[in-house]
Amino acid sequence: MLNYVWLGLVAIAVIVAGINGQITSVTNAAFDYAKTAVDIALGLIGIMALWLGIMRIAEEAGMVRILARAVKPIARRLFPDVPPDHPAMGAMVLNIAANWLGLGNAATPLGLKAMEELQKLNPQKDTATNAMVMFLALNTASITLIPATIIAIRTQLGSHNPAEIIGTTIFSSTCATIAAVTAAKLFEYAQLGGKAFRSHLLNLLKGLLVLGLVAVALLGLGKLGVLHFLFGWLTMDLFKSVVSFVSDWAVPFLLFAIPVLAFSKRIHVYEVFIEGAKEGFEIAVKIIPFLVAILVAIGMFRASGAMDLFVKLVSPVTDLIGMPAEVLPAALMRPLSGSGTLGIVTELMKTHGPDSFIGRLASTMYGSTETTFYVIAVYFGSVQIKKTRHAVPAGLVGDTVGLLAALFICKVMFGG
């Protein structure tokens, strides 16, 4: 799948640039983004060394196994091919938790470590396993509790309530996560065929039905005022303060608690940390070719004017669902480039105001999904996976549902 996406981006960029007379811009973009890819990879080395060193200490002390057992009921359903006490399980759980708390610097090294451990269980070293695809789905459509970056920008641009998009972001990112996980399972089951597919599909539908009933029940309780009676004390400011406190202290706490607990078990923490940290450089170097490939293709596509052309082509469809045409470039850029999307969203808020419907919708969209192609390039590249199977379609399903959920919840909350 990634082969077709990459070739399509490059080919379309060159053709459109030739028609528009933007060949020079496309050439410059290719070189600039190649340099950017290397800078990103090299910038990961220090962070990778730190977190892989801490992870090695946690493994030696048995903490990862304890964490994996704690989430065994859920993990067994999402990752049935991974032994519950395998180091990959603990790394994946820590990565997902870090993503939820917005600890991007901690999440990436933990995710790369998880991929390394999953690769040890992989019988076909160049092909993604079901567990890898599911793990990528959980990363490309991760629940976001506090979209700190976009809140900071809204504050700088003079928003009267910068944190008002927290609730809408949680809603849309949760929808995206459920959709991505469901899509990954459906693609996985479809490859089984016959009775096995129907049996698994029935179980999946039962699970979705339960989630639907829970959502309906919560809406009903909300209408009756029961939720307000039970949780009226939990204001948005209090919720933000609690999550912010956890986000601020999570990293220092882990850096302190893990070595101290390991030392209490007579583990030579410094030597173990050094052994784990050595892996950071190797992994960062491995991902450079994959990162260069995807970022160069994205940069060429943008510089050629193909993105603007695509927006014009699909805008009639977005008009039917009530999505403002101004927001469409941000929605289309989100799976491709985080920095590119942030630039577009910032420009929208400057033009229309951070508290306008467009500003609120763009802010929510930014926090509802991840940069799918970047995540897939980095994570699969770290373990030399070339055949990504259904990882891209599952991620894009999550992106699409997340963006539509953002539009829906913003219309409900803010009008428009």
Backbone angles phi, psi at 161, to 5 degrees: -145, 80
User: Which residue matches tokens 């969209």?
Assistant: 365
For residue 173, CA distances in Å to 154, 161, 201 come to 19, 20, 24
The CA distance from 192 to 194, in Å, is: 7
Instruction: Pick the range with the lowest mean pLDDT from 126-135, 148-157, 174-183, 244-253.
Output: 244-253
72 against 326, higher pLDDT: 326
The token pair that represents 241 in the structure block: 């303060």
Residue 360: predicted pLDDT:
93
Backbone angles phi, psi at 147, to 5 degrees: -80, 75
Band the pLDDT of 247: cuts 50, 70, 90. low
pLDDT digits (tens, 9 = 90+) for 25-35: 999 999 998 88
Instruction: Pick the range with the lowest mean pLDDT from 58-67, 115-124, 183-192, 383-392.
Output: 58-67
The token pair that represents 385 in the structure block: 């996976």
For residue 192, CA distances in Å to 126, 188, 201, 203 come to 21, 7, 11, 15
The CA distance from 182 to 375, in Å, is: 19
Band the pLDDT of 56: cuts 50, 70, 90. confident
Q: In Å, how far from its chain's centre is CA 22?
A: 32
Mean pLDDT of the chain: 83
Looking at residues 143-156, what average pLDDT do you find?
A: 78
Angle at 358 between CA 242 and CA 247, to 5 degrees: 15
pLDDT digits (tens, 9 = 90+) for 340-389: 788 788 888 888 899 999 999 999 998 888 888 888 888 998 898 988 88
The token pair that represents 180 in the structure block: 């991505």
The CA distance from 257 to 391, in Å, is: 35
Which residue segment(s) compose the domain that 153 sits in? 2-414
Instruction: Pick the range with the lowest mean pLDDT from 68-72, 290-294, 377-381.
Output: 68-72
Contact 82, 88 (CB under 8 A): yes
Looking at residues 65-90, what average pLDDT do you find?
A: 79
Residue 87: predicted pLDDT:
85
The string of DSSP letters for 298-361 reads: HHHHHHTTHHHHHHHHHHHHHHHTT--GGGHHHHHHTTT-HHHHHHHHHHHHHHH-TTSHHHHH
Number of structural domains (the chain) is 1
Band the pLDDT of 84: cuts 50, 70, 90. confident
Contact 126, 96 (CB under 8 A): no
Instruction: Pick the range with the lowest mean pLDDT from 234-243, 267-276, 296-305, 312-321.
Output: 234-243
Picking from 152, 126, 179, 193, the residue whose alpha carbon sits closest to that of residue 405 is 179
- Neighbouring residues of 309: CB distance < 8 A, sequence distance ≥ 6: 16
Residue 364: predicted pLDDT:
92
Residue 234: predicted pLDDT:
63
173 against 226, higher pLDDT: 173
The CA distance from 293 to 100, in Å, is: 28
